Amino acid sequence: METAEIRRRFLKFFESNGHTVVPSAPLPAIEDPNLLFINAGMVQFVPYFLGQAKPPWDTAASVQKCIRTPDIDEVGKTSRHGTFFQMNGNFSFGDYFKEQAIRYAWDLTTGSVEQGGLGLDGDRIWATVYLDDDEAIDIWHKQIGLPLDRIVRRGQEDNMWSMGIPGPCGPCSELYYDRGPDYGPEGGPEVDEDRYLEFWNLVFMQQERGAGPAKKDYEILGDLPKKNIDTGMGLERMASILQGVDNMYEIDEVRPLIDKASELTGKRYGVSTSHTASESHPDDIRFRVVADHVRSALMLIGDGVVPSNEGRGYVLRRIMRRAIRSVRLLGYDKPALPELLPVARDCMSKSYPELAQDFERISSYAYGEEEAFLKTLKHGTTILDTAVAETKTEGGKTLSGSKAFELHDTYGFPIDLTLEMAEEQGLSVDQEGFRQLMAEQRQRAKADAAARKTGHADLSAYWQLLQDQGPTDWKAYETLETESRVIGILSEGKPVPVAKSGQIVEVVLDRTPFYAESGGQHADAGKLTGPSFFGEVVDVQRPVKKLVVHQVRVLEGELVLDDRVEATVDAEWRLGARQAHSGTHVVHAALREVLGPTALQSGSFNRPGYLRLDFSWRAKLSDETKSEIEEVSNKAVRDDLPVSVKYMSLPEAKDFGAVALFGETYDETVRVVEIGGPWSRELCGGTHVSHSAQIGPLVLTGESSVGSGQRRVEAATGMEAYRYLARERDLVSQIAEEIGAQRGDVLERVRAILQRSKDAERELAGLQAKLVSGRAAEFAQNAKQVGAVKVAAVQAPEGTKGGDVRNLAMQIRGHLPEDQPGVAAVVATAGGKASIVVAANAAAKAQHVSAAALVKAALSGKGGGNDDVAQGGGVPADQAPQLLDAVVRAIGA
């Protein structure tokens, strides 16, 4: 049975049993600062389980895209761990519980294929339950009829489920399938988890856990308001069972990638004869890593993650690099992703058609990243080789931790790569030192994250407010001023009753006209005023959905909980914000008009007067292209296109052709902003002008690269654009005045002036050289007798250039009598340093007076040249006279 078919049957089964089918949340877990990626089907429902929000349905089912970063290292070595996988889940929010959950799972898995089931043999199914969960044992045994010897009690680590972090948890019951003696010894899941494959976990979610280790020994905080059901069936694991393959990398959605990699590398997959993944040949493991990681990268980029050096982007980068490196170890050293990624797309677009539509954008990130990494590999390899050679010459056997860290940090060299390559050259690596430095870096990153805007990673105070007071009555689209009541004051994340003058606190109002930073639009500025209070709003965020939090600096009086205040947005600010945000849409549409539809925005930011927009594009934009984008933008402004806002469902919006920005989560109803109808259609919650002419002039002020395959344009809008142009105009006026030209002639005049100055310099240099050489005879004349040698020791005239110093030395030598040993020594100073040139004649050489030896004597061993002519330098300028003295002394000696 195809994976897509299992998925379809699952959803159909639960839908026909009254469940609402809910789409998968995007992989990046944006709402939860404790989690990088969604790692289970229940994550998007956490507030419902905790009772912080009311679920719109009593029961639901989904197929959730998941990433589990802790499982990356297992990939290929077990039969059942993918980085990316899909979790089929059914959920009950206080509706049915244990008995019905077990019944559903059993009926779907063992139900006949003809009647929509999955058709597994019930006699091969085992169940585990939490230690003292006798109720679950009873259900399995008495109602389902599972024999007691196939029901196993297990402890907290295995059968008390949580997300690994504070949140809902509960005892669980897992379903295992016995794959038979080919896969390992008999005895149930306790004995062998490869033969007995866990495919479904039923969580009886009824408690809340606190901080502590991920899997056991954490604190149970108490009961949840209701008893819930959360289940997870591994779609890939079920597919591997139903398709009769050894592991999840050999199912229909993944195997074609292995085959393609095998075709590219010329290596055969399946070298090992064992069915057990852990006994595989290293090449087989590599094939699986390639397949898993390429597919995972596709899904991640598809959901808006882009490679970077931190957070989610770093996970993506890491798995892409592991994939690329593994392909190379299998023996293929050309770019592999252009071959592999389309295969992954074809496998996955049955269930995720958007991947095919969006493939241009996805692949441009992936290919760009591979290109960059191949360069990194080349460059890093040189650095590594040098470090290895150095370590060896010093007699060391271990590459230092700091070198390994530098390779990792600066060149993006993964540590396993460093280990492997160092080992090939007979060195080990100080892993302890490396880990120490990594830990320090992580600490720094943590501190950074903690200081980030939304403040406290612990969102409980916000959730509490939302629960007690309900969502903020948000008026940003309607008005700039509201009468509001202060319903919460937080200081450093903790509720306080009052804020005093000088304090900066977070303030929650029952109603607000302030726009909270989102969708790239900067937060509004403004003020709060009460009868005896005045405060400035310095930032506005929405740390949890539907709760607007103002960061307020108290300037006068006291702000007390329950006070009535007037909340006022700075009108000038908001106008600027609207201009800049509409301007961003205009520039985006202009980019796509000029460059084509693949120039898709990947991020943006705007505040009054300024906007920037990042988009997928490989090459630097030419000056003509930039002008064209600017012109298209300004024409759209001139045409005074109407700006309109429509509300619709997400699928409707997609059909409507609205551009969805990746990495954002959208509610069921989305807001579509149009400028000039279909010309610009974007999902957007921002504030906009009502006609495009209100944006005012739009001027591109910058264009640059931001990482592989990404460019950034920056622009000024409204009054700021006018001021930008006015400044440029004034600059031209000032230049014109300075050079005494008409504005229209400035460029020509500047060119002429530059040409003249170049000519003059050349002439001056010629004159100087002549002047200097003209004095050569005079310098020779004044030569002193030192023993048998005539020595002309000369300080070159101010401004003599490097080449001229040498010429001067040789010319002086030419003027010294030939029949007598003669030496010319010339010092010159430039840039704060002194240098020396020494020239010796043939008679001097015959007396064993060597120019090179004399320079070395003056510069304590440094300098270069031969017996005829030699030079050196680099000492401080004020030592120039000493250099000459040293030469004279050396000749005398």
What are the φ and ψ backbone dihedral angles of 167, each rounded to 5 degrees?
Answer: 155, -165
Distance CA 162, CA 148 (A): 26
Minimum CB–partner distance for residue 329 and ligand ATP (Å):
23
Minimum CB–partner distance for residue 81 and ligand ATP (Å):
4
Q: Closer to ligand ATP at the Cβ: 197 or 591?
A: 197
Minimum CB–partner distance for residue 75 and ligand ATP (Å):
8
Whether 513 contacts 480, CB under 8 Å: yes
Whether 256 contacts 347, CB under 8 Å: yes
Kindly state the helix (H) or strand (E) to which residue 735 belongs, with its residue range: helix 718-739
Q: Closer to ligand ATP at the Cβ: 235 or 589?
A: 235
Minimum CB–partner distance for residue 86 and ligand ATP (Å):
8
Q: Is 581 annotated as a binding residue?
A: yes
Locate the DSSP E strands across 558-609.
559-560, 564-569, 601-607
Kindly state the helix (H) or strand (E) to which residue 399 belongs, with its residue range: strand 398-399
- Tell the residue number behind the tokens 């001056």, with chain if given: 764
Minimum CB–partner distance for residue 234 and ligand ATP (Å):
2
Minimum CB–partner distance for residue 89 and ligand ATP (Å):
8
DSSP 459-474: -HHHHHHHHHH-S-EE
Distance CA 800, CA 811 (A): 14
Q: Closer to ligand ATP at the Cβ: 195 or 522?
A: 195
Q: Closer to ligand ATP at the Cβ: 32 or 236?
A: 236
Nearest in space to 600 (alpha carbons), one of 663, 647, 692, 668: 663
Whether 76 contacts 280, CB under 8 Å: yes
Q: Closer to ligand ATP at the Cβ: 88 or 841?
A: 88
Alpha helices in 196-281 (DSSP H): 235-242, 255-265
Nearest in space to 109 (alpha carbons), one of 196, 235, 251: 235
Inter-CA distances, 37 with 212, 330, 584, Å: 20, 30, 29
Label the pairing between strands 789-795 and 822-830. parallel
Minimum CB–partner distance for residue 83 and ligand ATP (Å):
7
Q: Which amino acid is at 7?
A: R
Inter-CA distances, 678 with 632, 681, 768, Å: 15, 6, 70
Q: Closer to ligand ATP at the Cβ: 83 or 472?
A: 83
Distance CA 353, CA 659 (A): 16
Q: Closer to ligand ATP at the Cβ: 200 or 463?
A: 200
- Give residue number: closest CB to ligand ATP: 234
DSSP category for residue 575: H
Q: Is 585 annotated as a binding residue?
A: yes
Q: Closer to ligand ATP at the Cβ: 81 or 403?
A: 81
Kindly state the helix (H) or strand (E) to which residue 105 belongs, with its residue range: helix 98-110
Minimum CB–partner distance for residue 257 and ligand ATP (Å):
16
Q: Closer to ligand ATP at the Cβ: 131 or 842?
A: 131
- Tell the residue number behind the tokens 């509004």, with chain if given: 524
Minimum CB–partner distance for residue 246 and ligand ATP (Å):
15
Q: Is 347 annotated as a binding residue?
A: no
Minimum CB–partner distance for residue 72 and ligand ATP (Å):
9
Q: Closer to ligand ATP at the Cβ: 130 or 373?
A: 130
Residue 94 CA from chain centroid, whole number: 39
Q: Closer to ligand ATP at the Cβ: 209 or 237?
A: 237
Minimum CB–partner distance for residue 212 and ligand ATP (Å):
17
Three-class HEC string of 613-628 = EEEECCCCCCHHHHHH
Q: Closer to ligand ATP at the Cβ: 312 or 612?
A: 312
Distance CA 848, CA 851 (A): 10
Whether 533 contacts 561, CB under 8 Å: no
Nearest in space to 870 (alpha carbons), one of 834, 824, 833: 824
Q: Is 688 annotated as a binding residue?
A: yes
Whether 232 contacts 89, CB under 8 Å: yes
Minimum CB–partner distance for residue 164 and ligand ATP (Å):
9
Nearest in space to 168 (alpha carbons), one of 225, 97, 95: 225
List of residues contacting ligand ATP (CB under 6 A): 68, 71, 80-82, 85, 87, 198-201, 232-234, 236-237, 248
Binding site as annotated, residues? 581, 585, 684, 688
Binding site as annotated, residues for Zn(2+)? 581, 585, 684, 688
